[in-house]
Amino acid sequence: MKAMNKVWVIGDASVDLVPEKQNSYLKCPGGASANAGVCVARLGGECGFIGCLGDDDAGRFLRQVFQDNGVDVSFLRMDPALTSAVLIVNLTADGERSFTYLVHPGADTYVSPQDLPPFRQYEWFYFSSIGLTDSPAREACLEGARRMREAGGYVLFDVNLRSKMWRNTDEIPELIARSAGLASICKVSADELCQLSGASHWQDARYYLRDLGCDTTIISLGADGALLITAEGELHFPAPRVDVVDTTGGRRCFCRRPAVHPFPRKLLGSCPAGGSHQQCQCLRRYGGDGKRRNDRSAVSRPAKHFSVQPFAGASHDREIRSHHAR
């Protein structure tokens, strides 16, 4: 489906070094926001990236990836005085990942409110909490969200919490609250809900972001799919089973779908299903951008075979527990 309005993405962009074979790494474009922009463009949407990169080999590589995928780079600033972020992705046998940051803070944290473009009604603005870890990127993200809402557009906030990137973790609750209050849609994982709220079970914290002012919440549940919470109710979307190679791109492909769909609520319910489909395809490939080289299939196929079920509270909890017991 062709997007109706432009999606603006702001925030982190990095070169990810993903282990491919023993003693060798695959050079992949990375960063939650950068990959969001590429995913939106591959899904047929019009997307622009707002950011800052070093005018170095890594930065020029990332800019070329944007251009090759049709992402507008008119508001991507290249600064020769800064160094682009580079990190190593560490993978376990089952595809779970952790990160070793070789350059932090990178040039991407220097995007500022002065880099923001003018916004128009019905456009989208995407950012994640990674963009809130350092100034001036923090101010750029929050000001961009405020301006987009003021212009009559929509804001998608991906919590994507990485505590190790924060200089002062005491700042996290306030900044998450400010971001959620500006958001039309918040994407969060079950683990992140527990971490933010202090609850032992995500089910007890599922209204955490709604209570902070977010209109709609999408909770990713890993192998158990996703839960969509709106003013009209709650829907659970099961996920298909896949053989996981690398989880790095999973959440990024998952939460770009809502920004590509038009916003009417009658279509919003299809977003977690479509997002789960693209997420599952990404999990079967190396690298955070969901593909290897020119393979577009990871994010381009439509979702067709998803059953949608009303969220059943305690009975759903029992279903999840019984699944893990098998």
pLDDT-based confidence at residue 271 (cuts at 50, 70, 90): low
Q: How far apart are CA 59 and CA 261, in angstroms?
A: 30
Strand order across the beta sheet in which 124-128 lies: 76-79, 47-54, 7-10, 124-128, 154-158, 185-189, 216-220, 226-230, 233-237, 309-310
More confident residue, 257 or 240: 240
Tell me which residue has tokens 């593909």: 291
Q: Give 134-182 pLDDT, tens digit per residue.
A: 999 999 999 999 999 999 999 999 999 999 899 999 999 999 999 999 9
Contacts of 18 (CB under 8 A, 6+ apart): 25, 26, 28, 89, 91, 246, 248, 286, 287, 288
In our burial notation (b when 16+ CB lie closer than 10 A, e otherwise), range 38-68 reads bbbbbbebbbbbbbbbbbbebbeebbebbee
SS3 content of the chain, % helix, strand, coil (to 5): 40, 25, 40
Q: Give 77-107 pLDDT, tens digit per residue.
A: 999 999 999 999 988 877 777 888 898 889 9
pLDDT-based confidence at residue 245 (cuts at 50, 70, 90): low
Mean pLDDT, residues 12-31 taken together: 90
Mean pLDDT, residues 233-247 taken together: 76
Which domains, ranges and CATH numbers included, belong to the chain?
7-325 (3.40.1190.20)
